[in-house]
Amino acid sequence: MKEYVIGFDVGGTRVKSGAVTQRGRMMAPGINPSGFALGMGNLLKTLKAEVARISDKLGGKPQAIGLGFPGAVDPDVGVVYLPGKLKGLEGYPIVKRLAKATGVPVIADNDGRISIYAERHYGQARDLDWAVSITLGTGVGSGVLLDGKILRDPHLQFGTQMSHIVMQALGGRLCITNARGTGDMLCSATALANQVKDGLSRGIPSVLSDQYFRDQSSIDFKAVIRGVARQDRLCTDELEHWTRNVGWLLVSAAHVYAPQRIILSGGATNAAEYFIKPLQKQVDEHLFRHPVGEGVPIVLSKLRDHAGVLGTAALAWEKANGDT
């Protein structure tokens, strides 16, 4: 049996899991439902069942377990501040309960910070001391590597809050922060879908019009990109507008954290061919830094769908090795 840890990436709809060796080889991957209505008792049962499944398959217990969650996460407790995302998660001592149930050390962190753990140990930040990771999915997440360190502050959210930067104070949808026009509201994959649905609701002609009036919920990011591929005017225009918003978010990240590289991940990056070049151009044209004219490379994560599990696994290895 190889020594391994288990990483869990707990999202709003799914729990991804897997065993990971110290060199980053992933084994026995799994996907289970989470969801707002699941409740913490059932989530804990799911985590315990996955630990048992992986342990049986690999012939022994893991060295440690890592958990990734949205919100403000206490490494020894779990989520301590997260209004409304997962029912019962806020304040629930899932770290201690899972550790007691399995007899294995457990540690947790924010899913945005987990993304930079993954890149630092197994991805695009292995050769760097300064980097920012941005996840573009249902929401926006971020993680920061500063001078070779991934930092936690007393409020537990350092580097994870690019989603809450206010970009358009006088308009836009209301964010969970009670501000309008935040990174989350303007730059997520959901934001692009909402922009297109708004146009469809006002009768702007589109190849997606019939689909929209049959089932509004079916107009998601993937549907918009299908429209872009067909050169639909509404979808193309809204993608350009969305790309500019993402560009301003990355300009802000570059000015705040001075990265050598910005790493993009999340579901939206599956369509990066449609926006990565104008995004790079916009960022390079609006940097105020030395040396003048030197841009910040924007690259795509090579870890893609496995980033969350690999990031929590890297955190778990720190726990197992006594580095946290």
Residue 240: alpha-carbon gap to chain centroid: 22
Name every residue whose Cβ is closer than 8 Å to that of residue 77 and which is 6 or more positions away in sequence.
Answer: 91, 93, 94, 95, 96, 108
pLDDT, residue 2, reads: 81
**Is residue 22's pLDDT more than 70?**
yes
**Is residue 37's pLDDT more than 70?**
no
- Tell me how crowded residue 13 is: count the other CB atoms within 10 A of its CB: 11
**Is residue 142's pLDDT more than 90?**
yes
Name every residue whose Cβ is closer than 8 Å to that of residue 196 and which is 6 or more positions away in sequence.
Answer: 206, 208, 219, 223, 224, 227, 234, 235, 238
- pLDDT tens-digit readout, 183-226: 999 999 999 999 999 999 999 999 999 999 999 999 999 999 99
- pLDDT tens-digit readout, 69-94: 988 999 999 999 986 667 788 899 99
pLDDT, residue 41, reads: 80
For residues 229-245, average pLDDT: 98
Which of the four CATH numbers 3.40.50.300, 3.20.20.80, 1.10.10.10, 3.30.420.40 does domain 127-301 have?
A: 3.30.420.40
- pLDDT tens-digit readout, 94-140: 999 999 999 999 999 999 999 999 999 999 999 999 999 999 998 99
Query: Domain spans of the chain?
Result: 5-116+305-320, 127-301
Nearest CA among 120, 173, 144, 123 for reference residue 252: 144
Mean of pLDDT over the chain: 94
Map tokens 């910005």 to a residue. 262
> According to the CATH classification, is domain 5-116+305-320 in 3.30.420.40?
yes
**Is residue 36's pLDDT more than 60?**
no
CA angle, residues 152, 157, 160, in degrees to nearest 5: 105
* 5-116+305-320 shares its CATH topology with 127-301: yes
For residues 2-21, average pLDDT: 92
**Is residue 13's pLDDT more than 80?**
no
For residues 19-46, average pLDDT: 86
pLDDT, residue 40, reads: 77
Helix axes 40-58, 94-102, angle to 10 degrees: 40
Q: How confident is the model at residue 1 (pLDDT cuts 50, 70, 90)?
A: low
